[in-house]
Amino acid sequence: LLDIGPGIIEKLRKVGVDLRSIQMILITHLHLDHISDLLPLLKIRALIGGGMLKILGPKGIREWLGLMMTDQRLFGYLSKLGCHKLIDVHELWDDSLELEPGMKISSKPVEHFNGIAYRIDLEDTSITYSGDAAPDPRLIELARGSEVLIHECSFPAEKLKGKHTSDEDLLRIVAEVDPKILIVTHLYPEMEEDLPRLYQLLSKAFRGRLYVPKDLDVIEV
């Protein structure tokens, strides 16, 4: 899984994913819309099984998980269920590692509240996932040459807020990365209300497969 925000558990069930089959979760940063279903998933797996779960995340994720699962004022009952014994936590920043044969995972810090982006290199494809990020040369370096780019596009340029990517920013990023498949995510209402503009703008520089998916969409890559 790439992040695990609110409602993910139920959506996985709707598309037929057995929660026991999940082996690894890559967390980009510790904002609620990216981690809120993580603790519920750990509780469910403690009850129904699923074995050891690898959790990758930015600096601080190990401390956050430890606090959430041991402090009795928070969710300390999770440690009584043994949740802390069922996770293998790896903190990443500017790193590269191979946790599974034929799978290389690389990370780079990005401009967004202690966030990181990921690149997953498999034997037959490569996928880069921005998480939340303002335009960042480190992310472009990580993504360059990826077959699949999953990138946020939160706002139209004239309504850009916070450390995010606008539609015009994404146009420039795609021109540099040159992926075969572009999957646009993390659209705020201001961007969702003007999807024709987004498609028109991106078509100026991108000739590959473009997706702006909705919940429960399945994309073959």
Superfamily of domain 1-91: Ribonuclease Z/Hydroxyacylglutathione hydrolase-like (3.60.15.10)
pTM: 0.96
Q: What phi-psi label fits residue 129: left (phi over 0), alpha (psi between -120 and 50 degrees) or beta? A: beta
Residue extents of the structural domains in the chain: 1-91, 94-221
Question: Beta-carbon neighbour count of residue 144 at 10 Å?
Answer: 14
Nearest-10 Cα torsion for 48, 25, 150, 176: -170
DSSP, res 178: -
Question: Nearest-5° angle of CA 113, CA 114, CA 119?
Answer: 115
1-91 and 94-221 have identical folds: yes
What is residue 152's predicted lDDT score, i.e. its pLDDT? 98
Please name the fold of domain 94-221.
Metallo-beta-lactamase; Chain A (3.60.15)
CA dihedral (74, 77, 80, 85) in degrees, to 10, reads -50
Q: CB-based burial of residue 88 (10 Å sphere; 0-12 exposed, 13-18 middle, 19+ buried)?
A: exposed
Find the angle CA(78)-CA(2)-CA(201) to the nearest 5 degrees: 145
Whole-number pLDDT of residue 221: 86
Note the pLDDT of residue 131: 98
The pLDDT profile of the chain, 221 residues, written as one tens digit per residue, is 999 999 999 999 999 999 999 999 999 999 999 999 999 999 999 999 999 999 999 999 999 999 999 999 999 999 999 999 999 999 999 999 998 899 999 999 999 999 999 999 999 999 999 999 999 999 999 999 999 999 999 999 999 999 999 999 999 999 999 999 999 999 999 999 989 999 999 988 899 999 999 999 999 98
Instruction: Give the pLDDT confidence score for residue 154 in this predicted structure.
Output: 98
Beta strands in 27-79 (DSSP E): 53-57
Asked if 184 contacts 173 with a C-beta cutoff of 8 angstroms, the reply is no
Would you state the pLDDT for residue 99?
Answer: 87
